């Protein structure tokens, strides 16, 4: 894809554009990837710069150094928009990765995207500005990227601007763009009123980017105009070609099937490693004694932290944003049935107030068996991964999923629905017991989930040696970022074909 003549090993200049970055500010899995992938690419010798909005919440914001004080000129606007670029960094084992924080009034708010579960009304304008500023600052700072790597709807206008506003700009003459889909359910759909900073989108009508005559989707713009598009797992790439799995964008993805890839996320083992994790009560490794002692101490600690009785009972954990995506609506109808057993369940999450309310009510009815912690708490998330025996991810859909990888690393068997990246990363006990690492259910129903929960409980109680064998299988799994990053490089360089051929056969069965 990168056409400039260079050897395969020549370092690439990559501008990684993301709306959140782990270590600086995070609301979900996008941030994990926006840290780990740039850090890995840089460690492989590439020159990577990350650009993100400098929200009020960004860690280290006060100490950030201003490297650019400028204005974004827009041809149709009487007044330019002033902004500053401040540098932060992501620590690595070698050279830190430079992060450009875009500081503008648009981002000087208490939250990133929403307050009280209500999205900011001008999110379209905010992220249209961010997308335009990401390219504007690159030009002004003299960074000429080989690849501009965009992530999700917030950055979808970047590929569009490269093909329009910057079509003849010397700074981007050699630049290609990539659009990574972490979650296609969020399409970034906004009224034309919000695109005043992108006159290119208004002067000429782009019907294929519209949801209706009044609304344009930023994600559609990214998918249509990026040189390459990838989903964060091969199976999600296949699902994106189906009406159901693409959340209504099958035509957009099918049109790009030659340039569509599926690259599984890695797991950042520098953050998620039971041998070194600073948040957990006792570090442990896969060896039998270490594992059983470590898990026992971590379980006890978790029980104490969430006010459950300290007891030697199977413990089921879950950490997630409270949305329908995560399958809370499959769990809620059967949770009380499951709690009839001698088990404990811990859920840590924030989000939809109705789902939170329903969980809170059950926790009040079953205080000895079910703890619901309505919080975003990274330290507690680590303690759940370490202290639980099973980790639940009954997702309605899951582009990749990171928590199942974390739980595998901690010997906490994942119980997942067979969708997206969950299917690519977990091996079901009932299908292939010898190499199994967890449990998979297929039907999108509470009953199907309950059957697998009961199944896992039987294994734990009646076949403890078999349970331990699965723990060893799980802990032997490795999802190295280095391997994923190598696939990204091959995609950047155009060394691999898109997934159309392999995806089509899958798609037939998905559509059946
Ligand atoms: N209450 C809480 N307290 C502490 N930590 C919490 C938390 N709620 C969530 N987290 C953390 O946020 C991250 C969630 O990552 P996921 O990949 O599971 O989901 P998400 O849907 O946000 O990401 C989207 O992007 C990622 C990255 O590509 C895809 O893996 C995924 O399928 C897609 O939906 C994990 O690191 C988790 O520990």
Asked if 369 contacts 341 with a C-beta cutoff of 8 angstroms, the reply is no
Distance, in Å, from the CA atom of 126 to the CA atom of 103, rounded to the nearest integer, reads: 12
Assigned domain for 463 exists: yes
Residues 218 and 321 in one domain: no
The domain boundary, picked from 178, 201, 226, lies at 226
Residue nearest to atom 20 of ligand 1 (CA): 29
pLDDT at 309 over 90: yes
Give the residue, by CA position, lying nearest to ligand 1 atom 19.
29
Residue 512 has a pLDDT of 35
Mean pLDDT, residues 93-102 taken together:
91
Instruction: Please check whether residue 257 lies inside any domain of the structure.
Output: no
| 30 vs 186: CA distance, rounded Å | 12
| C-beta of residue 364 within 8 angstroms of C-beta of residue 336 | no
Q: Are residues 200 and 307 in the same domain?
A: no
Q: Which residues, 6 or more positions from 33, have their beta carbon under 8 angstroms from its beta carbon?
A: 18, 151, 180, 182, 232, 265
User: Residue 508's pLDDT is what?
Assistant: 44
Do 297 and 220 belong to one domain?
A: no
Whole-number Å distance, alpha carbon 464 to ligand 1 midpoint, is: 30
Rounded to whole angstroms, the Cα distance separating 254 from 242 reads 9
Query: DSSP label at 428?
Result: B
Binding-site residues: 26
Q: What is the distance between the alpha carbons of residues 90 and 24, in angstroms, rounded to a whole number?
A: 8
The rounded percent of the chain whose pLDDT value lies above 70 is 95
Average the pLDDT over 478-501 and give the result.
Answer: 87
The total number of structural domains that make up the chain: 2
What average pLDDT does this structure show over 170-188? 97
Q: Is the pLDDT of residue 505 over 80?
A: no
Residue 495 maps to a domain: no
Whole-angstrom distance, CA of residue 499 vs CA of residue 215: 30
Q: Give the Å distance between the CA of 29 and the centre of ligand 1.
A: 4
Please report the pLDDT score of residue 75 as a whole number.
Answer: 85
CATH of the domain at 28: 3.40.50.2000
What is the mean predicted confidence (pLDDT) over 80-95?
91
Count of all residues that appear for the chain in the document = 512
* Statement to judge: residues 67 and 208 lie in one domain: yes
Q: What is the mean pLDDT of the chain?
A: 94
Among protein residues, the one with the nearest Cα to ligand 1's atom 31 is 401
Pocket of ligand 1 from Cβ distances under 6 Å:
28-30, 32-33, 182-183, 232, 265, 319-321, 348-350, 376-378, 381, 398-403, 421
Same domain for 103 and 205, yes or no, is yes
Ligand 1, atom 30: closest residue by C-alpha: 401
What is the per-residue burial (b if ≥16 Cβ within 10 Å, else e) of 3-32?
Answer: eeeeeeeeebbbbbbbbbbbbbbbbbbbbb
Read off the pLDDT of residues 210-245 as tens digits, 9 standing for 90 and up.
999 999 999 999 999 999 999 999 999 999 999 999
Is the predicted pLDDT of residue 261 greater than 70, yes or no?
A: yes
Contacts of residues 95-98 at CB distance under 8 Å and 24 or more positions apart, as own/partner, are 95/42, 97/38, 97/39, 97/42, 97/48, 97/49, 97/50, 98/49, 98/50
What percent of the chain has a predicted confidence (pLDDT) above 90? 91
pLDDT at 503: 47
C-alpha torsion 306→311→314→316, nearest 10: 0
What pLDDT digit, counting tens, does each position of 334-350 carry?
999 999 999 999 999 99
pLDDT computed for residue 418 by the predictor: 98
Collapse the DSSP code of 427 into the 3-class scheme (helix H, G, I; strand E, B; otherwise coil) and give the result. Answer: coil
Domain boundary among 226, 259, 276: 226
**Which of 113, 264, 319 is the pocket-test mutation for ligand 1 (most atoms within 8 Å of CB)?**
319
Q: How far lies 295's CA from each of 110, 291, 455, in Å?
A: 38, 6, 21
pLDDT of residue 4: 44
Q: For residue 154, what is the DSSP state?
A: G
Give per-residue pLDDT as tens, 418-470.
999 999 999 999 999 999 999 999 999 999 999 999 999 999 999 999 999 99
pLDDT of residue 1: 59
Residue 2's pLDDT is: 55
Residue 326 falls within a domain, yes or no?
yes
Q: Is the pLDDT of residue 504 over 70?
A: no
Query: How far apart are the CA of 35 and the centre of ligand 1, in A?
Result: 13
Q: pLDDT (tens digit, 9 = 90+) per residue, 347-385?
A: 999 999 999 999 999 999 999 999 999 999 999 999 999
Predicted-complex ipTM score: 0.98
With 80 as the cut, is the pLDDT of residue 506 above it?
A: no
In this structure, the residue with its CA closest to atom 2 of ligand 1 is: 376
In a domain, 325, yes or no: yes
Residue 8 domain-assigned (yes or no) = no
> How far, in Å, CA of 195 to CA of 105, rounded?
17
Find the domain containing 430 and state its range.
288-478
Contact yes or no for 152/180 (Cβ under 8 A): yes
Residue of the nearest CA to atom 35 in ligand 1? 29
374 or 506: which carries more pLDDT confidence?
A: 374
Annotated binding site for ADP-alpha-D-glucose: 26
Q: With respect to residue 455, please indicate whether it lies within any of the assigned structural domains.
A: yes
Closest ligand 1 atom, CA of 26? 12
pLDDT (mean) for 88-112: 93
- Calpha distance 512→233 (Å, rounded): 21
* Residue that the structure tokens 């520098």 belong to: 270
pLDDT of 509 reads 40
Tokens of 378: 């990274």
- Ligand 1 center to 150 CA (angstroms): 18
Query: For residue 402, how far is its CA from the centre of ligand 1 (angstroms)?
Result: 6
Beta carbons within 8 Å of 392's beta carbon, 6+ residues apart: 316, 317, 318, 331, 414, 415, 416, 453
Distance 320 CA to ligand 1 centre (A): 6
């Amino acid at each position: 894809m990168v056409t400039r003549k260079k050897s395969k090993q020549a370092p690439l200049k990559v501008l990684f554009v993301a709306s959140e970055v782990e270590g600086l500010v995070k609301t979900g899995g996008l941030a994990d990837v926006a840290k780990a992938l740039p850090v890995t690419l840089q460690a492989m010798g590439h020159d990577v710069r990350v650009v993100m909005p400098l929200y009020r919440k960004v860690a280290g914001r006060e100490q950030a150094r201003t490297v650019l004080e400028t204005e974004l000129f827009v041809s149709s606007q009487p007044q330019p928009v002033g902004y500053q670029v401040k540098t932060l960094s992501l620590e690595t084992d070698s050279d830190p990765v430079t992060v450009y924080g875009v500081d503008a009034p648009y981002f000087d708010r208490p939250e990133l995207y929403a307050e009280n579960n209500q999205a900011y009304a001008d999110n379209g304008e905010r992220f249209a500005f961010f997308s335009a500023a990401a390219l504007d600052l690159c030009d002004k700072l003299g960074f000429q990227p080989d690849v501009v790597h965009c992530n999700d709807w917030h950055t979808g206008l970047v590929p569009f601007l490269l093909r329009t506003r910057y079509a003849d700009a010397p700074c981007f003459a050699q630049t290609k763009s990539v659009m990574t889909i972490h979650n296609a359910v969020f399409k970034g759909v906004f009224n034309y009123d919000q695109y005043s900073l992108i006159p290119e989108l208004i002067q000429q009508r782009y019907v294929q980017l519209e949801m209706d005559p009044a609304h344009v989707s930023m994600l559609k713009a990214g998918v249509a105009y990026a040189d390459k598009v990838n989903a964060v797992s091969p199976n999600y790439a296949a699902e994106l070609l189906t009406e159901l799995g693409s959340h209504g964008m099958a035509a957009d993805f099918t049109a790009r099937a030659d340039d569509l890839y599926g690259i599984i996320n890695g797991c950042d083992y520098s953050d998620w490693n039971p041998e070194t994790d600073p948040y957990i009560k006792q570090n442990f490794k896969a060896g039998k004694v270490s594992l059983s002692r470590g898990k026992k101490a971590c379980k006890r600690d978790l029980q104490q932290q969430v006010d459950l009785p300290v007891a030697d009972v199977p413990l089921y954990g879950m950490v997630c944003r409270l949305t329908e995506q995560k399958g809370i609506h499959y769990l809620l109808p059967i949770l009380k049935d499951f709690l009839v057993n001698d088990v404990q369940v811990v859920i840590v999450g924030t989000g939809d107030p109705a789902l939170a309310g329903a969980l809170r009510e059950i926790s009040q009815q079953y205080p000895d068996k079910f703890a619901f912690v309505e919080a975003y708490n990274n330290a507690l998330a680590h303690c759940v991964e370490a202290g639980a025996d099973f980790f639940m991810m009954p997702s309605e859909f899951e582009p990749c999923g990171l928590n199942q990888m974390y739980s595998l690393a901690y010997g906490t068997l994942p119980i997942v629905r067979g969708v997206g990246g969950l299917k690519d990363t977990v091996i079901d006990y009932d299908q292939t017991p010898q190499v199994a690492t967890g449990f998979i259910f297929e039907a999108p129903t509470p009953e199907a989930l309950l059957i697998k929960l009961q199944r896992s409980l039987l294994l734990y109680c009646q076949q403890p040696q078999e349970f331990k064998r699965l723990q060893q299988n799980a802990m032997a799994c490795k999802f190295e970022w280095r391997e994923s990053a190598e696939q990204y490089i091959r995609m950047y360089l155009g060394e691999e074909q898109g997934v159309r051929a392999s995806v089509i056969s899958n798609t037939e069965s998905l559509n059946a």
